[in-house]
Amino acid sequence: MASSPPGAWRRRLLLVALALAASALAAGVAVIGALNHESSFNPASIAYDLKLGTSLRTASRELAALGVIQSAWLFESAGRLRGDAPHIKAGNYEFTSPMSPLALLRKITRGDATQVVVRFIDGWTFKQVRQALSQHEALKHETRDLSDADIALKLGIADGNIEGWIFPDSYYFARGSSDLAVLRRAHRLMQKHLGEQWDKRPSRLPLASPYEALILASIVEKETGRADDRALVSSVFVNRLRIGMRLQTDPTLIYGMGDTFNGNLRRRDLQTDTPWNTYTRAGLPPTPIAMPGLASLQAALNPADSNMFYFVARGDGTSQFSQTLDEHNAAVTKYQRAPRRAGQK
């Protein structure tokens, strides 16, 4: 069989080389275009907490999962080619508009993190949340003239009851951000934590829905003086729910009284019926009474295994738990009705 002349082979090799070069050039152009192409995402803002010690690979995956970038591989590869991997800086970053992967790399290597913060405290009511937002000078106040129900509907809370649906945490944001965007983030975080805890719950609990768990967690939040007592406090209310015993908890009663509460509970208050008066009504109140933190969500869905049905504050932040009413009455006499010692306030 006749072989091709040497010149023909050289021409073929040249054509192959040119084709490969053209392909590489086209791929390079495509990559450069992708690196400069702005991503797109739907939420009004996305917050990302880049923790100290996070690798570029992990950050790339987390940013892709949030929808800030489209390709974790492309972002990571560009960062390594640019030598950015050792230089990414921890911080709280907020993305309020789409940006290209290259712009994002510059942002996290400069440490252009958000520094403005608003804090929602465990156990606050939504009224207190609104006060904190209203007083924050760095926010754009879009909710100031809205009712609680209007805000709830904007967050996608169909029944209009927003109490309890905001997760207490520190929220970092860019100056000029909307207070509604902050609330949207806080609501999504509560949904996330509540959903995770509900999915891990034991089957024996007398709770019919995640919302009931949220209500119980808010009561546990308000009734717990010391973290070590939280699971036992939860067990008292769970034990009462199991046997149909009224919860008889002051924080729900106080919540139902609203602005008429002056700091003192009287006998007539305990006897005045409201939907939140757990002295006059059985079961859980109709809504949460505050924002429970993660520890209270966990306690509500993982109560201690106990036979306790009562507890009373000792006056030092801890509680005395009892199985029977006689034991409880004795504890009340000891810790709340006993004469105060000299010097005790």
**pLDDT by residue (tens digit) across 235-289?**
999 999 999 999 999 999 999 999 999 888 899 999 999 999 999 999 999 999 9
pLDDT of residue 95: 83
- Encoded amino acid at 50, one letter: L
Q: Which option is the CATH number for 46-110: 3.30.1490.480, 3.90.550.10, 3.30.930.10, 3.90.1310.10?
A: 3.30.1490.480
Please list, residue by residue across 193-230, b when 16 or more beta carbons sit within 10 angstroms of its beta carbon and e when fewer do. bbeebbeeeeeebbbeebbbbbbbbbbbbbbbeeeebb
Instruction: Centre a 10 Å sphere on the Cβ of residue 1 and count the other Cβ atoms it contains.
Output: 2
pLDDT of residue 138: 87
Classify residue 330 by burial, with Cβ atoms within 10 Å: 0-12, 13-18, 19+.
Answer: middle
Return the ∠ at Cα 196 (arms to 192 and 198), rounded to 5°. Answer: 115
pLDDT for residue 28 is more than 70: no
Residue 263 to residue 335: CA distance in whole angstroms: 20
Give 44-74 pLDDT, tens digit per residue.
678 888 887 899 999 999 999 988 888 888 8
Residue entry with tokens 């924002």? 291
Mean pLDDT across 118-137: 96
Give 209-241 pLDDT, tens digit per residue.
999 999 999 999 999 989 999 999 999 999 999
Q: Retrieve residue 88's tokens.
A: 């990414």
pLDDT of residue 99: 81
Give 160-210 pLDDT, tens digit per residue.
899 999 999 999 887 788 999 999 999 999 999 999 999 999 988 999 999
Q: Quick check: helix, strand or coil at residue 93? A: strand
Nearest to 122 by CA among 3, 227, 277: 227
pLDDT of residue 247: 97
pLDDT of residue 222: 96
Backbone torsions φ then ψ of 173, nearest 5 degrees: -155, 160
Classify residue 48 by burial, with Cβ atoms within 10 Å: 0-12, 13-18, 19+.
Answer: buried
pLDDT for residue 34 is more than 70: no
Residue 224 to residue 233: CA distance in whole angstroms: 7
Residue 248 to residue 43: CA distance in whole angstroms: 42
Q: Are 67 and 41 in contact (CB under 8 A)?
A: yes
237 vs 20 pLDDT, higher one:
237
Give the confidence band of 13 by pLDDT, cuts at 50, 70, 90: low
pTM of the model: 0.70
Ordered by start, the domain boundaries in the chain are 46-110, 204-337
